[in-house]
Structure 1
């Protein structure tokens, strides 16, 4: 059975683009879904309506069959390469750096302070809570929702928050450019069978310590076999890390979540890497890091549920099963105060006045044009009668033949020119 799943996964890689760690992202959204269905079914239905509508009507790289698969969309669109560069840096915060040796000069991305997961999150929240679009399900809002559910998962991973600088990571210009969020920190991981896998510490944690790897890839859109596997994995991780045991504080912000992740990297990961680069399945570091990252996945799921509930509560009663994907202009705020109502009434009165004035002007214009048209028509009739009396039939016929001959000559020239192209 396991061999069959492996073969299915390998074959699927030639047909669809998958990221290295789709399972943790899907688990984060699945936990949020489970929590919403328990505490706020209407908000869940609203978010499901957004995601389902986009899957059937919008442009997607990998079709989805489940709510949870939408969590991987932000990685799926990387197949577009340069076309999606604007969102490439939304997956991490690259400015929480550690430089214990005070190395200089440091090579940093000049966009890191403006184009990062934190600013992306804040802007996405503004899009989803824009009062002008409350009750409208636009394609842009759907895109931003898909980005949101992804980067909430990303920012709970230790190496999506900064870089570690030491003398090892140096370019040809003498600049120290850090480990790029652990992507340059190579390790040797020994599996339960003793097989050595060479990888980097970023992937080690993003794959939940190699717990989700090539050997248990999910082929998307999910078939029934993988739906069963995923449901069992969801049940396991939620039962193993109950919400009550995680001490989740909903007053913490996205920036606080990022700080938590970076502190885990600084205090638990980098001290270990300074002494060795080998991790063995079942050793102390493996057990502690696996427990840490599994808790981060579950924590991210509950935090995502709380975030979605806050963002979409204003759309309760407005987004329904039959709400279409909208391309309309912003709608008026239903909660206008009395001053705005007075302004609206004044505007309506002015509009009525202008409309009445416009109608009178239009009537006058119509009469003028009618008279002019009548005079023009009469003049046209008299000119025809005069033309017939003053021009002989032979001359008229000769003129017509000349025009026909000239036209035929031009047609032949055009044909000859086209043949020479």
Structure 2
């Protein structure tokens, strides 16, 4: 719990200060930040390929494939390696930085992603072609269309990737979750957490903590190869309650719980050096402050210490303020002198192409979800 509270403090420190596309603070909300930022399109291309591994492919016909040349270097596997380097950098142990917060969010997200069967590779055959007749594969199941029939017989046309990402249509809402989460959804998540942990006890999952991130991906891809693709070769219809639904639902729920335990172990390993360095017991912004008679005295001592620190900070601020003011005045004087002595030129002009930054209003967009 100490490590959980430390990492929760990380997320709470920056998450409500404009780093996100939506104002979020809780662990659950930050877990989907990596999908939320996709609304920025090309502006976040650097992390677009971090959600999956594109080099664990199946090409039984030995086709000449059309693949992204960066697939072997820009993927979840390399992202995980670099995220670990950031979060364990000895120079910043115990320091909460914005970059570490963003990498923590990515870590939480991709550990979940990589436990889904179709975040780990693509299937290629001669029937899956691009408009230019290139063999471009099924894009992690996104181009493998299926029809899912609900418990009431309603037909849902989707793809096998989303079928598993939604836990076989178990986790779907008519309207996407709006964050910050309201109390109804918070209660729902807690109940669902209790249910899924009780249904799939840790001791039944055979979790081996010596396995690596790459091993986790191999597990997911083997599930796709041995279970999913053989089914798709014969059928593209799935009915609620049929054999494939029961098997795939049980599998994906186990993968979710397994991913949670592995994430917990990973966080305990990465943030162990930060124990005692982060005030993990202080209330988070979305929690009610806990106050009682026993901690009033300690709070008084803390406030006295903080008051002394504030006075020192104010003194430093005054000194720097004076220095900045003198520098600014000198700068203005030099500008006035330059304008008076400069020779007018016919080529001098004021460009209207540059918009002052203060006039640009960056609108926070609603959360969206891409399947990858």
d(CA) in 1 for partners of 2:240, 2:131 = 37
Equivalent of residue 108 in structure 2, options 136, 140, 149: 149
Is residue 2:15 matched to residue 1:55?
yes
Provide the residue aligned with 2:90 in structure 1. Answer: 131
Q: Which moved more, 1:224-233 or 1:107-116?
A: 224-233
Is residue 2:19 matched to residue 1:67?
no
Is residue 2:228 matched to residue 1:277?
no
Is residue 2:137 matched to residue 1:178?
yes
Q: Is contact 2:50–2:76 with CA below 8 Å preserved after alignment?
A: yes
d(CA) in 2 for partners of 1:50, 1:58 = 15
Q: Deviations over 1:326-373 (max 9, x none)?
A: xxxxxxxxxxxxxxxxxxxxxxxxxxxxxxxxxxxxxxxxxxxxxxxx
Q: Deviations over 1:202-247 (max 9, x none)?
A: 0000000011123374332111111111111111111110111101
Provide the residue aligned with 2:3 in structure 1. Answer: 43
| Total equivalences in the alignment | 286
d(CA) in 2 for partners of 1:240, 1:92 = 28
Provide the residue aligned with 1:198 in structure 2. Answer: 157
* Residues 131-280 of structure 1 aligned to structure 2 (within 5 Å): 131-215=90-174, 217-280=176-239
d(CA) in 2 for partners of 1:226, 1:173 = 45
Q: Is contact 2:11–2:25 with CA below 8 Å preserved after alignment?
A: no
Query: Could you tell me how far 1:320 is from its partner in structure 2?
Result: 1.9
Provide the residue aligned with 2:259 in structure 1. Answer: 300
Q: Unpaired runs of 5+ in structure 2?
A: 283-339, 341-348, 351-372
d(CA) in 2 for partners of 1:44, 1:180 = 35
SS in structure 1 at match of 2:123: coil
* Residues 368-387 of structure 1 aligned to structure 2 (within 5 Å): none
Relative to 1, partners in 2 of residues 1:102 and 1:63: Cα closer, same or farther, differing over 3 Å? same
Provide the residue aligned with 1:116 in structure 2. Answer: 75
SS in structure 2 at match of 1:198: strand
Aligned Cα RMSD in Å? Answer: 2.0
d(CA) in 2 for partners of 1:167, 1:290 = 30
Q: Deviations over 1:226-274 (max 9, x none)?
A: 1111111111111110111101000000000000000000000000000
Q: Deviations over 1:287-306 (max 9, x none)?
A: 00000000000000000000
Equivalent of residue 62 in structure 2, options 102, 107, 111: 102
Provide the residue aligned with 2:346 in structure 1. Answer: none
SS in structure 2 at match of 1:279: strand
SS in structure 2 at match of 1:137: coil
SS in structure 2 at match of 1:226: helix
Q: Is contact 2:168–2:248 with CA below 8 Å preserved after alignment?
A: yes
d(CA) in 2 for partners of 1:322, 1:278 = 51
Q: Unpaired runs of 5+ in structure 1?
A: 1-40, 324-406, 408-416
d(CA) in 1 for partners of 2:135, 2:160 = 19
d(CA) in 2 for partners of 1:221, 1:97 = 38
* Larger helix share, 1 or 2: 1
Q: Is contact 1:74–1:147 with CA below 8 Å preserved after alignment?
A: yes
Q: Is contact 1:65–1:222 with CA below 8 Å preserved after alignment?
A: no
TM norm structure 2: 0.74
Q: Deviations over 1:69-109 (max 9, x none)?
A: 11011111111111000000000000100011222x20001
Q: Is contact 1:219–1:226 with CA below 8 Å preserved after alignment?
A: no
Q: Deviations over 1:136-159 (max 9, x none)?
A: 111100100000000000000000
